[in-house]
Structure 1
Amino acid sequence: MTATVEIYTWSRCPFCIRAKALLDRKGVEYTEYCIDGDEDARAKMAQRANGRTSLPQIFIDDRHVGGCDDLYDLESQDQLDPLLEGSAA
């Protein structure tokens, strides 16, 4: 089973672009919520992200994994692929 990946972004955010580039390189399908100027969407994201308001915010199978640096940290620790495969706890 493949994990469900969601990412909240701003269209011109370099960290958002970098995070999506990693997911794209891995062939991951994801749902992107581009929230440029949408404060209601940002508030919803912050609620899901335990108060974090920076972008991007990334969720894998409804689990908050954090932002761009967090995503790359998971990749460097060989922990991203198991999450993306839906086999991690």
Structure 2
Amino acid sequence: MLTDAKLRNAKAADKPYRLLDAEGLHLFVPAAGGKSWRWRHQRAGVERLVTLGRYAANHAQYRLSAMHPRWWAGIFRLP
């Protein structure tokens, strides 16, 4: 699980990278800078990647949301 200190200290590098959390949730840090929450999951045998929002948002909120895939599927109308 990620801590707030790890999230704040994540800086852009030569290549994009991910900081893994739980349930497919991760913080994506591209080479150009900026941070965004992403959620990777499988539905009907197909891997999907959903961008949830920018890092400035609450980490706990995204962690709880990633634990409820049915809720996200309803919001984004995932096939």
Higher strand share: 2
Q: Same fold (TM over 0.5)?
A: no
**TM-score computed with the length of structure 1 as normaliser:** 0.31
Greater RCO structure (CA 8 Å; 6+ sep) = 1
Higher helix share: 1
